[in-house]
Every structure is written in C-alpha cells, then in structure tokens.
DNA sequence: GTACGGTCTGACATGCATGTCAGAGTCAAG
DNA sequence: CTTGACTCTGACATGCATGTCAGACCGTAC
C-alpha cells in the first residue's frame, strides 16, 4: 500500500510516517517512480511505534527495537546491552508513570464530580 | 522558604519554578530585595502541577486549575465551562492513556523477559 | 569590607514531535 | 492530452518543556 493508505489505517500523519522512515523505524520498498510501498506488516510496526512512543520512549531509541530487531511476530530477541538497560529503566519508569497517571486521573475525577454537584443546573438540551 | 529550598523539596528546577510563576501557577511573595518567598502550601501546589503536567495537561491550562482555583485543601470548585470540557476530555483521554501505557509496559516486560532467557549468562558480580 | 553562594531578570539555545508550504513528478480516468 | 489526486524531497516554523549563560544584586559569615 502507499503512504496515504497506511496513514489512514494507522491514524499517523503522512508527515510522521516519512519521519519514521527517516529514523529507520520502517523500511518501505519503493516503486520505480520512488513511491513508498508498505506491506501489511508495517501497520503493526507503526502501531507499536506509536504505543512505545506514547510511553515516553523517544523515536530515535525505538529504532533499535522496531523494524529490524522487532520482527513481524512481535518481538525478536537479543538487544545490545546498553539498550537493554535503557529499556529496563524505562520499564521501571513506566510503572511509576502509570501510577502517577492514576493519581491524576483520580484528581480529575474528583474535580469533575465536584463540578457536577455545584452546577446550577445541567441545562443541557 | 526561598526558591532554592523549594526546588530541593519538590525536585523541580529553579528554572521551572520561575517558569511556573510566569504562567501564574504559583504566586510567591517577594522580600524587599525581590527574592521569591514560598509558603509550605506551595510544595503541594507544585507537586500537583507536576502530576497534572505529566498527565499531559499543558502548564498553560493548569493555570486555571492550580493556584487560584485549586485551593490548599486540594480542590475548590467552579471552573468556567470551556475549561470543564477540556478537563472532561482530558479525563477520558487519560483513561485511554493509562491503558496504552499498560500495553507498553507489558510489551517491555515480555521483551525484557525474553532477554533474560537468551542471555549468555547473568554475569553480574 | 570582602568574599562566596543564592537570587533576579532576560535572552538565547535545545530536543522532540509535528505542521505546513513549495516546486516537481506520477498516474489513472476521461 | 489534460486534469486532479497523490507522492516526493527539503526546508522552514511552531509549541512545549527545559537548560544555560551573563551581568547585577543580596546577605551572611569572617
């Protein structure tokens, strides 16, 4: 598929898909005319990239995980040692992050609940 | 307390504490000489700011929540309507975000577990 | 008073993810 | 052919959180 379609299917902008390639996160083939051609597997790759990126892993770092090292099956093994430690600390950080987000979530929940209570009237048609 | 101390107590850089003030998130008093003077309550305020910011709320937006509107007790009520809707959508987004992070967390867990298995030997002194 | 550490303001700089625009080529449908 | 939608590259721009540096002041300890 071409880049536009992949963009629609993944929800990632064309701009970013090109950027991902620039960073080595995907390796689309090229048509004679130079158009990028993606395989079905790339959809999954892109989604993993987005997920891990949201988790706070910089795109640059993902390069060593996704694409070459992470196979289509999901994950291949053997990462270099420094990367492993980065991952390990990220993993720990993630746990903290999740608990932080939970706190924020609760804070917002309380705040919003308070709003409802103190609303003059729902007034929503 | 002065800014340096608050920085140590909250883990937020002096630079950022000043920035927070710039954005109206804290209102330290000033000594005759112009030094910022923070109260004990500001520690909590700063921590809430950090938490909500980590949750993806921009500092600018927090201005309407923290400081004036969020009392020392944790939260005061009555936010303006547009802000409420921002918050509500952020709240929903947060739920999604948390579940995403869980996925990432699991992905990393699996990856790291695989590493251990395929390690030549722990070799850790 | 001298010095040293903390502070002040203001500006410049950086990293990262993203958007947008321009100029040129591609391609399928009519 | 011609047109319109899509793509390509490359550059410029933005938003946000942050860092760093300079030049000047404040204050306490000696």
Contact: A108, B118; criterion CB under 8 Å: no
- Per-residue tokens: A103: 């706190």
Least confident interval from A10-24, A90-104, B20-34, B80-94: B80-94
Q: Could you tell me if residue B58 is left (phi over 0), alpha (psi between -120 and 50 degrees) or otherwise beta?
A: beta
Segments in chain B forming alpha helices (H): 3-10, 14-22, 41-54, 59-62, 81-118
Q: Where does A1-78 sit in CATH, by number?
A: 1.10.1660.10
Asked whether residue A69 carries a pLDDT value surpassing 90, the answer given is no
Contact: B111, A51; criterion CB under 8 Å: no
In this structure, is the dihedral angle defined by the CA atoms of residues B91, A17, A37 and A62, taken in order, positive or negative? negative
CATH architecture of residue range(s) B1-77:
Orthogonal Bundle (1.10)
Contact: B87, A108; criterion CB under 8 Å: yes
Say what the pLDDT of residue A105 is: 86
Average confidence (pLDDT) per 10 residues, chain B, 125 residues: 96 96 93 95 91 86 63 49 71 86 85 65 47
Asked whether residue A101 carries a pLDDT value surpassing 80, the answer given is yes
* Distance in angstroms: CA B50, C1' C4: 33
Q: How many residues does chain B have?
A: 125
Provide, as residue numbers in chain B, all residues whose Cβ is less than 8 Å from the Cβ of A91: 105, 108-109, 112
Asked whether residue A82 carries a pLDDT value surpassing 80, the answer given is no
Confidence of residue A110 (pLDDT cuts 50, 70, 90): confident
Structural domain spans, chain A: 1-78, 80-118
Asked whether residue A96 carries a pLDDT value surpassing 60, the answer given is yes
Q: How many residues does chain A have?
A: 125
- Cβ–Cβ under 8 Å, residues A94 and B106: no
- Most A CBs within 10 Å, among B75, B108, B112, B120, to test the A interface: B108
For residues A43 and A49, give the distance between their C-alpha atoms in angstroms, rounded to a whole number.
10
């Amino acid at each position: 598929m071409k880049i536009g379609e992949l963009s629609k299917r993944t929800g990632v902008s064309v701009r970013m898909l090109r950027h991902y390639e620039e960073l080595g996160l995907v390796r689309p083939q090229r048509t004679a005319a130079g158009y990028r051609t993606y395989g079905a597997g790339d959809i999954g790759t892109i989604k993993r990239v987005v997920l891990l990126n949201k988790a706070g892993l910089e795109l640059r770092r993902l390069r060593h995980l996704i694409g070459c090292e992470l196979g289509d099956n999901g994950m291949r093994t053997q990462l270099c040692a420094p990367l492993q430690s980065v991952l390990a600390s990220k993993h720990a950080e993630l746990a903290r992050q999740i608990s932080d987000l939970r706190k924020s979530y609760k804070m917002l929940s309380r705040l919003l609940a308070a709003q409802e209570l103190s609303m003059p009237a729902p007034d929503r048609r």
